[in-house]
Amino acid sequence: MTQTTGILAEIRHLLEQKANGRYGLSLINQQQHALQGAWLAEREGRGDAMVVAALLHDIGHMVHDLGENPADAGIDDRHEELGHAWLQAHFGPEVTEPVRLHVAAKRYLCAVEPDYFARLSTDSVKSLALQGGPMSAAEVAAFEALPQHREAVQLRRYDEQAKVKGLETPPVAHFLPAVARCLTGSAGERGSRDV
């Protein structure tokens, strides 16, 4: 088994076998949330890196068994950091940085878009308080200076939209070719996928 085949099998296992727990307070599970995010990115014609970041943005929940809703227990699970650390061994910053920054992007959007907070789901509101609340002006400036901040904001928007009960999406296997193209040492992102 090659290294690429091994990591693809591991990602597939995580998404198909370890992502069945409820996603926060939503009526969907982690797998449905991941697939909906990736499907949104793909349907908008985003490149492989954004599709893969959307698919794997909550991988930290799956590789570290953080429970279904740590925020309910008053715990900031730091899943974005756990996921980023795991992904760095396999992907470049075009995938890993939006994942690392998707929680910061929520704080950022709450600071710069007056109506963004009102659109957050109940579980996102709970976790926002644990994650530091809306950014200060200095934090906004620092966030905007990061190379992948725009991609993180886009990922955050998919994250918020990917909570629809009963939405049909392609299966995990559909997204694995994009994952393979983004693996470190592979051909990398090749631009927008045909949809």
Give the residue-averaged pLDDT of 28-43. Answer: 94
pLDDT at 190: 37
8 A C-beta contact, residue 97 and residue 46: no
Query: Torsions phi, psi of 161, nearest 5?
Result: -80, -20
Q: Which domain holds residue 145?
A: 3-182
- Residue 22's DSSP bridge partners are 29
The predicted structure's pLDDT at residue 5: 86
Global pTM reads: 0.84
Beta bridge mates, 91: 183
Per DSSP, the three-state class of 160 is helix
Report if residue 192 sits inside a domain: no
Q: Rounded to an integer, what distance in angstroms lies between the CA atom of residue 48 and that of residue 70? A: 30
Contact of 100 with 81, CB cutoff 8 Å? yes
C-alpha–C-alpha distance, residues 136 and 141, integer Å: 9
At 187, the pLDDT band (50, 70, 90 cuts) reads: very low
pLDDT at 186: 45
194 within some domain: no
Determine the average pLDDT of the residues in 94-123.
92
Tell me what the mean pLDDT of segment 101-122 comes to: 92
Number of domain units in the chain: 1
